[in-house]
Structure 1
């Protein structure tokens, strides 16, 4: 099956960055052009936390246990996938793409799948569970083409 036909969009994402690419040529020699770049500023959890972890009494004894603090860094990563799904929904409604390939780290791909609206899910023609956000576009073209051919 041919996945990367002309006009197919490719979303390359991790938990903090997303590249929206469009194939301007055919499937044999894909030429992905950047249409949009999104990046989330997500400092480490230590920088986002305001307090030390809390503690509570275990009952009548003098023993006290620590309570885990909220991991704000992890929450922001999970929220990014949800925000991406919403962005894709808006783009689909504007008619910006009809075919979409999702390329993301496995955990991000899972979060994306959970959050995709039906209109976007119906446009998905392929998935690649790899983190390619830090690669050059030419490398992404080759790796996505190869992964989809072997799927």
Structure 2
């Protein structure tokens, strides 16, 4: 995948988000970790925030879906504010599906690629290799 300089790479799963910026050029990707951003994961359908219990095993999935939606909202805001000019989203398949539901039209316009892999917790080199191979 060709990543122009300054492309933002969002690496997410249902619990964590890491943001990187390509300081290299399209041919030589060199990712730099960006400061973490707070995510509003309160967008959970009916019931809001509540503690998990054995009676309702879907609570953790609702929390993950809420986090995914919160990540998309944060990315939408940064795109609309002009802070992101090109974007790649790398996310676990289910997370990516949840995020897509919340993409703003403007985000879709700057989105240059998606990778449906869970690379959270992987090294910078692993992420760079996965992007180069995509």
**TM-score tier after normalising by the smaller chain length:** 0.7 to 0.9
Alpha-carbon spacing, 1:115–1:88, altered in 2? closer, same or farther (3 Å): same
CA contact (8 A) 2:75 2:107 kept: yes
**What do residues 107-139 of structure 1 show as CA deviations (whole Å, max 9, x unaligned)?**
111111111111111111111110001111122
CA contact (8 A) 1:84 1:112 kept: yes
CA contact (8 A) 2:52 2:60 kept: no
SS in 2 for 1:122: helix
The counterpart of 1:104, out of the listed 86, 91, 106, is 91
Size of the aligned set, in residue pairs, is: 125
RMSD: 2.2
Q: Any stretches of 5+ residues in structure 2 without a counterpart?
A: 40-49
Q: TM-score, normalised by structure 2?
A: 0.83
Partner of 1:48: 51
Q: Give the superposition deviation at 1:39.
A: 7.6
Q: Give the superposition deviation at 1:100.
A: 0.5
Q: Any stretches of 5+ residues in structure 1 without a counterpart?
A: 41-46, 54-68
Q: Distance in 2 between matches of 1:146 and 1:49?
A: 39
Structure of larger gyration radius:
1
The counterpart of 1:88, out of the listed 56, 75, 79, is 75
Partner of 1:58: none
Q: Give the superposition deviation at 1:36.
A: 3.1
